[in-house]
Structure 1
């Protein structure tokens, strides 16, 4: 989105970006900060290019307002100005602005700044997705201060290799050549949670990743993480995540 109260600047920047864009991104334009905030309420914006000096809501004020957004949803920001003022540049740095461009803006400088800003926005979104997918309980498994036994290590490999298939604790115990009862106690002792809970959390972790990265249906994802029933998958998802798979996808993407 391009925000500038000068129509000529808005048009010029839009044309340069449309020519470079090749249809990959939709370009929006706003004549002031208030109009920009209205667009931001309705649409997901990946990159904001805004003039610093505008009536009512300045570019700096607009950038400061966006700090309240969740980091993974916050657009990358490029500030533009007709004045090379140190105070502006200093504040831009404090706001985490990607670049500070002086008018008139040449095509090469604009495209270079835009590509850098979009890369930053994508990295921020990637980190945000990882944080949503990660299971804090799984991060703590095996944190007992002593190394895992070979049997439990092999069982963990078996689980990851077969998450798309239904299997039982007995199947895993057979794979590592242990009595199921002994294996159950050993697994919980070393991993800090039962075999069943661990498998469920791993399946849901993989499902969350698919919900955010793919357009597969909930039923298709359920099947790919080892659930024979989409209804049972949805029930377990809600139990562990507090929402349905569909709501999780809609609120996290």
Structure 2
């Protein structure tokens, strides 16, 4: 594979070795990934005698899609997720962010242990990616509904924000407990305590998958998303190693 390098703030990264850490919206999955609402669906449009499916004899494939960004795949979300008066659709103001991947121990329905993060977190980190253990390959197709995964303590979400981090990414369905009575305390804490140093809109991304072969450490983070006006949108997220 050819080397394609870009220099960001004096550091080179090899975009040819970008690592996709997102989970697609997979219409073949028989279940949702989280939040109890059932699987996504893809149905051919039918207009009179015409059907939008080449398999069914139509001239083209022309499907209607039913999906929920929060429930069916990797997504990014804004404060609009928890505040109706702050309607803003997710948008990346920077092509590449200084990122850091950290692996945390997680236990069912308990806060993640981030004590090992603070001594190693680089001061210039703009995007934090949290991988949780256990991390089997089956996690990539897991149904999280009613499993009560671990979550972030609101105090840790505040500390992350105060470090100047504007993009918080995690491989779980939510940074908050599955059932918390609607508090969403970690979401709110992260957005409330933003320092705004980076100028990047503060975003939370959830339902990623980071294989064990990827080492903890510094990466550039690149996020792609559709131009969709909603509190959350599907996203494709990459870690790009520095040279």
Structure 1 length-normalised TM: 0.26
Which one has a bigger Cα radius of gyration? 1
Q: Answer 1 or 2: which has greater helix percent.
A: 1
Structure 2 length-normalised TM: 0.26
